[in-house]
A and B are shown apart, each in its own frame.
Chain A
Amino acid sequence: MKAKKITFLGLFTAVALVVSFLETLIPNIVPIPGFKLGLANFAILLVMYLYGFKEAVIVDFLRIVLAAVLFGSLFSFFYALSGAVLALTIEIIIKKSNKFSPVGVSLFGAVFHNLGQFILASFILKSFGIMYYLPLTLLFCILTGSINGYLVILLKDRIKNINKN
């Protein structure tokens, strides 16, 4: 890895981490346990578009580990991981298909991130009662997924230019 690439990946990890932290400060607008806007995902998607899948997985994993150590818990680590594994998997598949713009990739990521967390929560509670809140969560995914995807569209070409110089 070149020094420049390492620097940029470190920068994206820091951005994702700061956004994750800021999200813990704002009150939960959706009354669903563990619901987050997931705005850190734009940084992960940017890495995916600028560098590749492997790099995006590394940055996302670092973000989750650091977030859990700095302002989370072992519990929040596994909760975030369950969503991230599903989200990254679907994002990689959808991006490879070339049928969607970053907005579509981000929307799929948001939906599957929440599905992953709902499934884990159902396992922990041994009950499907939480699924009552799935439709509301999916609706919010449209908002958060679109914002993330649009940020990626806006930023990816500009950052690509910085990288070349």
Chain B
Amino acid sequence: MKKNDFLLIIIIALISIPLIVLFLFNREGNYALVKVDGVQKRIIDLNKDDTIRFETEYGYNIIEVKDGKIGIIEADCPNHDCINKGFVKRNNESIICLPHHFEITVISDNEEYDAFSR
């Protein structure tokens, strides 16, 4: 190994670790935004337990909201990465089902997002 290899490892670590630590301090969100093809489809309240079936031209995903967390429990995508991701609750955390162009992102506040997007 050369000196440059170690330098490269240090640079990658210096870029990624502070951001990871920063994200750990993200607060728990109250809403989740569902987007398909980047278009906002629905805002889900994380404080109400619910099971929602979401059907698009690409296929279906069944979303479950439980104890302030959101996750996908069933889908007809080929890889099931979205289900394996488990449940999320922190701001900016997301669940992605790439074959379905489907994205759920946790946000802190309904209105805050509206103001932000305008």
**Chain A residues engaging chain B, CB cutoff 8 angstroms:** 27-28, 31-34, 73, 75-76, 79, 99-101, 103-104, 107-108, 111, 121, 124-127, 129-130, 132-136, 138-139, 141-142, 146, 149, 153
A125-B8 Cα distance, complex, nearest whole Å: 31
Given contacts A33-B82, A99-B2, contact A127 B9 (CB under 8 A): no
Q: In the complex the two chains form, is A107's CB within 8 Å of B9's CB?
A: yes
Q: In the complex the two chains form, is B94's CB within 8 Å of A99's CB?
A: no
A130-B93 Cα distance, complex, nearest whole Å: 9
**Chain B residues engaging chain A, CB cutoff 8 angstroms:** 1-2, 4-5, 8-9, 12-13, 15-17, 19-20, 23, 35, 37-39, 78-79, 81-82, 84-86, 92-94, 96-99, 101-103, 105
A134-B98 Cα distance, complex, nearest whole Å: 16
A59-B92 Cα distance, complex, nearest whole Å: 39
Chain A binding surface SS class: helix
Given contacts A34-B79, A125-B96, A130-B94, contact A139 B35 (CB under 8 A): no
Residue from B20, B93, B96, B103 within 8 A of A139 (CB atoms): B20
Nearest-Cβ distance from residue A45 to partner chain B, whole angstroms: 14
